[in-house]
A and B are shown apart, each in its own frame.
Chain A
């Protein structure tokens, strides 16, 4: 890049961005869209294939009922109308990631149309229109070999693994979103985050961007105020929420630079560059846009029963945005505190811990404190840290009952994370229970006083603060298993202070 990009604030003061998002979500069904092959992630190449997903002659696809149901539920959660009759279509193209030379998709008759998703940006609601939600099959994975770089440029051969080919893929397309101005990048990010949460709440996909079960293409255009929308570009390869935001921002800057220089925007596919944060032109579309769609003759039409759709609608879970707001009120958190809970990925964990009997404050303390620290150190998700909400609630109940103090509780938690068993078992097995027997404590206190006569005299003469050293000595002899406040009270009592 030799041209200097203009300043962002200055650009969005002159141009109005219009964005649009196409999101692909791999459904978490047991089997593929049109055959009974398993869908689990990973696995040796070409171990999850059959004549149908390999497109062998004579094989016939049959649609997966669970995938249809999941798509309808996504559509309903996005306030769409569900088609009472629709068909699959063949999308023909010449690329070996589909062995049939076509992908079964939906064209002019999507399963769900005309909905919306409300997202919150800087405390304000933005309504994103949803054009359509349709169902298709995912493609295989190609590995380009023979070139110096291993990338497609310069490669001479492709190696193809069809394990992913045929996995149900839901495509969610927004309507163009004008009027977001300088916030366009944040709105794009907030939409994808909210969509991810909605789909996760439905339990139909694990929606992990890093594993590719949620993939996003971002459309961006610029126009001058009062003029028609500009020519849009489509940015692919956007694989994280942060990248969604960066891709929109960098495309706004690039297009402004082209327009300012008197140039025209070419309608093209661009690829987001994770390392630099900018977009580069993709390979030429050439004839690839001519997909020659036609109704799939191997599948009969879908006609979702109205009663079934009504049933699915009635059973939808509470929307994540409303659910979060309700939890925040229940837990008495400020917006900032709720944000840290969200950032830590702890909402569901705290919710389950509270359901298991802990107070919201205690549940939040464990998950955002000790357990978040351990998850961060290990570089894993909080949910995978090794403690369950039930165990955390049990731990807190032991603290509340006075059986564990804070330090002992953390030791027990270490055992829980290490897989030693339940908090009660660990406390008993390791002998970690707080020493509450006053006789034993009194003996330890007397011992500490006798061993530190100078400090004891200070306390006797009224320097109560000096008692801290004696408390420390008692905690040491009881291996931390005493309640510090009880020990302190006992020392002051014995010394008449």
Chain B
């Protein structure tokens, strides 16, 4: 059974705002499926006593003190922006999206 369906790939493409053609959907669904199947092999060898890991380094509590560090000037910050206005990043309006908070 495929690890990822063509519909799921189309859904992910839409969430990522990628314009993917019908042919590309077939290609990517196949490629992603191969990758996921390969990764799934890890699950086969993982015993119940091995917790899933999200980080390769066995560290916890890497924290910084609450001290201000100089950042970028507005000019530096906006230097990579495609467009700017009133010292703000200027972007196309996003339709029908809910703002997360």
Contact = CB atoms under 8 A, between A and B. Distances in A.
Interface of A: 24, 29-31, 35-38, 44-51, 53-54, 56, 62-68, 85, 87, 91-99, 103, 139, 143-146, 152, 155-162, 169, 215, 217, 269, 282-288, 290-292, 294-297, 299-305
A37 B71 contact: yes
Given A47-B74, A64-B64, A301-B55, A157 B91 contact: yes
A294 B88 CA distance: 30
Q: Which 10 A-B pairs have the closest CB atoms?
A: A36-B69, A50-B71, A295-B54, A66-B66, A159-B88, A65-B63, A303-B60, A288-B98, A160-B89, A45-B87
A280 B9 CA distance: 34
Interface string B53-79: 011010111111111111111100110
Interface string B31-70: 0000000000000000000000011010111111111111
B90 A159 contact: yes
A54 B101 contact: no
A162 B80 CA distance: 14
A96 B82 CA distance: 13
Nearest to B95: A283
A51 B76 CA distance: 10
A103 B100 contact: yes
Contact of A157 (B60, B61, B66, B90): B90
A103 B71 CA distance: 20
B17 A94 contact: yes
Contacts of B66: 29-31, 64-67
Given A94-B15, A139-B100, A297 B87 contact: no
Given A49-B71, A155-B93, 15 more contacts: A31-B67, A36-B68, A46-B87, A68-B63, A87-B54, A94-B97, A139-B101, A143-B88, A157-B90, A159-B86, A159-B88, A160-B89, A286-B96, A297-B55, A300-B59
B59 to A, nearest CB: 5
A96 B67 contact: no
Given A29-B66, A36-B68, A302-B60, A93 B91 contact: no
Nearest to B85: A159
Given A46-B87, A50-B71, A159-B89, A282 B98 contact: yes
Contacts of A85: 60
Nearest to B74: A46
25 contacts: A29-B66, A31-B66, A36-B67, A44-B74, A46-B89, A50-B71, A54-B72, A62-B62, A64-B64, A64-B66, A65-B65, A92-B15, A93-B100, A95-B99, A157-B93, A159-B90, A160-B90, A161-B88, A162-B77, A162-B89, A288-B97, A295-B54, A299-B62, A300-B57, A300-B62
Contact of B69 (A31, A269, A295, A302): A31
Interface residues of B, number: 43
Contacts of B17: 94
B21 interface: no
Given A56-B80, A65-B66, A300-B59, A94 B87 contact: no
Contact of A158 (B70, B93, B96): B93
Contacts of B97: 93-95, 283, 286, 288
Contacts of B70: 36
B85 A290 contact: no
Nearest to A86: B60
Given A91-B100, A92-B15, A36 B87 contact: no
Given A56-B80, A139-B101, A156-B93, A30 B68 contact: yes
A152 B98 CA distance: 11
Contact of B55 (A49, A215, A300): A300
Contact of B72 (A49, A99, A292, A301): A49
Contacts of A45: 74, 86-88
Contacts of A67: 66
B101 to A, nearest CB: 6
Contacts of A46: 74, 77-78, 87-89
B37 to A, nearest CB: 19
A52 to B, nearest CB: 9
A297 B56 CA distance: 9
Nearest to B100: A93
A93 B98 CA distance: 9
